[in-house]
């Protein structure tokens, strides 16, 4: 049996985070354990999570990760990139864009990135509608309100079984958290 002090959740929420069709989901949607991650691609600790921890979690078919983007930047290029992320996830091939954000986030400020997004919009009516008619903007605003209403202040924040885990954790430590939360579900393998 795990002791919660060993995994270090800070508090328990009364209600789980809200789900949306625009949430970015990695892994099987029917996995035993859902990890909600409030993230910002511009956050260096979110980047470290995706570089160091995420590859290990991807191997675990018992876990899925629901990424809820909550960027606070007012820079137009960053806001457009966030809108693109949720729309392309929903309607297109998202993994190359995700990898670009993780491994070369500064590219969102380049004219080449803007051209690439224009090409996505021109090539796919669904992506265009999502980005240009406010759906993605409303989604991101709702994530920001939810993030603020839960009293979160920085990214990454993880919510697992309504337990709140703040900040970056190593792959080993995050693995302990996953095992603890799976044990709470009574689903041991």
Q: pTM for this one?
A: 0.91
- 157 close to 165: Cβ distance less than 8 angstroms: yes
The CB density around residue 120, as the number of other CB atoms within 10 Å, is 19
Determine the pLDDT at residue 6: 53
- Residue 75 pLDDT > 70, yes or no? yes
Contact by Cβ (8 Å): 88, 120:
yes
pLDDT tens-digit profile of 107-118? 999 999 999 999
3-class SS string, 37-82: EEECCCCHHHHHHHHHHHHHHHCCCCEEEEEEECCCCCCHHHHHHH
- For the stretch 142-179, pLDDT in tens is 999 999 999 999 999 999 999 999 999 999 999 999 99
At the top level of CATH, which class does the domain 4-184 belong to?
alpha beta
Q: Helices (DSSP H) in 92-169: which residue ranges?
A: 95-103, 111-123, 125-132, 135-149
Residue 86, classified by CB atoms within 10 Å of its CB into exposed (0-12), middle (13-18) or buried (19+), is buried
């Amino acid at each position: 049996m795990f002791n919660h002090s060993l995994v270090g959740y800070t508090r328990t929420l009364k209600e789980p985070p809200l789900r949306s069709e625009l949430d970015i989901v990695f892994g099987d949607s029917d996995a035993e354990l859902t990890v909600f991650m409030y993230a910002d691609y511009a956050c260096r600790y979110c980047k470290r999570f995706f570089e160091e921890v995420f590859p290990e979690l991807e191997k675990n078919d018992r876990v899925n990760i629901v990424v809820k983007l909550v960027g606070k930047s007012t820079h137009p290029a960053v806001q457009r990139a966030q809108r693109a992320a949720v729309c392309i996830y929903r309607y297109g091939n998202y993994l190359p864009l995700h990898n670009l954000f993780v491994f070369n986030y500064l590219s969102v400020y380049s004219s080449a990135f803007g051209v690439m997004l224009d090409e996505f919009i021109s090539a796919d009516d669904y992506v265009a509608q999502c980005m240009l008619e406010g759906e993605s903007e409303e989604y991101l605003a709702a994530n920001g309100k939810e993030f603020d209403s839960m009293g979160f202040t920085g990214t990454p924040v993880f919510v697992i079984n309504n337990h709140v885990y703040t900040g970056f954790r190593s792959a080993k430590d995050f693995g302990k958290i996953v095992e603890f939360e799976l044990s709470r579900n009574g689903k041991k393998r």
